Amino acid sequence: MTEDAEEFAPFWWEPRWYHDDKLEDKLIEAIRVKDKPNTGAVYRIFLFVCGILFFFAGWITWNIGLPAEGESAAVGMNFDTFLFFTGIFVQFIIAPYFAFVSISNSGRLSLLMPKAQAEYFRLKAAIFDREVHDHYWAALRDPGHEHHNEIIRYKWMDKVRWKHHPSDFFGYQIFTKMSGEETQGPIVAKTSPEYINSNTLFDENGHVIGIKNPFNHPLRRVLTLPMFLFISQLLIFPIAVIHSFITVTNNDWEILRDISIGFLVLILLGRYLIRRNTDLFNADADVGLEDLEERLRLLSERYLAIP
């Protein structure tokens, strides 16, 4: 394509401060320096002592889970098995990790990036996806829109406030300049030939190996392993409740303890699925572009002066 392809560039592609890669590198470095944990001698000694304590705590825990003399040593779904494997994990994973961090160069206990850095990238991604987001909503709300029928949205999704994923349905057509530089063109449906032909991926031999960010059917976000586990646990929930009443009547506290652990796992898994798949707890579901840019600026100015 020619240089005229630039006329299709999205509205946010007017250079802004968060498009400056050098400024972003300085900002990330400032975040890492400011949020760097205390790595003094006292802190490292504390981590090393915690590692030793975890080692002995894990050793005691898995020994408690061992069967008494004369009892069966079969592995099953019971509290003793839980104690055994928990102790093994604490003694041979958690304890050595604390000891390793105490002598490492970074001294950072968490493997995750700093919270401010993660928030920066989250807000920036939300800004960059904003035009696709607006196009999606315009097509969804207007039955006469040319892309209205490209959106797959079931009625039950609106009732449970299932998250919308505009980038599953729409993306940018890519134009290639004479110089070989790629430029984003207009927004098109990901099932259209315009998107497929301009976002095809090739290997070093020129063979097609796939499509960059292809169309994603919404059911693929429903039919997942966590969802399957949650539904299977939910189906047996009434039986578990009845069983718990029976165990209370019979004073069988060990079985009741195992049932309680199952209830806790069900609650935590349900909370994870709700936060991941619905907008019930999402404060950014209806936030405008200006608000996102302002929040990104306020976050960044805590660490670096923004022009």
pLDDT digits (tens, 9 = 90+) for 49-107: 999 999 999 999 888 877 766 565 555 556 777 788 888 999 999 999 988 888 877 66
DSSP, collapsed to helix, strand or coil, labels residue 288 as coil
Nearest to 171 by CA among 218, 214, 221, 219: 214
Closest by CA to 117, choosing from 35, 16, 39, 38, is 35
pLDDT the model gives residue 36? 64
Ranges 120-129, 221-230, 262-271: which has the least confidence: 120-129
Task: Give SS3 for 203.
Answer: coil
Q: How many residues does the chain have?
A: 307
Contacts by residues 138-144 (CB-CB < 8 Å, ≥ 24 positions apart): 139/170, 140/164
CB 216 within 8 A of CB 163: no
The Cα–Cα gap between 290 and 284 comes to: 12
Cβ atoms of 174 and 133 within 8 Å: the answer is no
Whether residue 87 lies inside any domain: the answer is: yes
Q: Domain containing 84: what range?
A: 41-112
Contact 303, 30 (CB under 8 A): yes
291-307 mean pLDDT: 81
**Same domain assignment for residues 48 and 99:** yes
| Domain endpoint, select from 63, 87, 112 | 112
Which is nearest to 185 in space by CA: 16, 10, 1? 10
Spatial CB neighbours of 18, under 8 Å, sequence gap ≥ 6? 24, 124, 127, 296, 300
* Residue 161 Rama label (left phi>0; alpha psi -120 to 50; beta): left
In a domain? residue 121: no
The reply to whether 248 falls in a domain is no
Name the pLDDT band for 128 (thresholds 50, 70, 90). Answer: confident
Q: Which residue do the tokens 């670096």 mark?
A: 304
- pLDDT for residue 5 is more than 50: no
Model confidence band, residue 112 (pLDDT cutoffs 50, 70, 90) = low
Q: Is residue 283 part of a domain?
A: no
Decide if 89 contacts 118 (C-beta within 8 A). no
**Mean pLDDT across the chain:** 81
Sign of CA dihedral 78, 80, 84, 87: positive
Band of pLDDT at residue 139, cut at 50, 70 and 90: very high
Instruction: Assign 13 to helix, strand or coil.
Output: helix
Identify the pLDDT of residue 95. 92
Please check whether residue 293 lies inside any domain of the structure. Answer: no
- pLDDT of 267 > 80? The answer is yes
Residue 108 and residue 136 in one domain: no
Within-domain flag for 56: yes
183 pairs with which residues across the strands?
A: 175
**Domain identity same for 147 and 100:** no
Q: How many domains does the chain have?
A: 2
Query: Is the pLDDT at 164 greater than 60, yes or no?
Result: yes
Both 142 and 100 in a single domain? Answer: no
Q: What is the pLDDT of residue 148?
A: 93
Question: Is the pLDDT reported for residue 194 higher than 80?
Answer: yes
Give yes or no: residues 47 and 103 share one domain: yes
Largest CA distance in the chain: 83
Same domain, 211 and 135: yes
Residue pair 112/118 in contact (Cβ under 8 Å)? The answer is yes
- 233 part of a folded domain: no
In a domain, 307, yes or no: no
Distance CA 83, CA 63 (A): 8
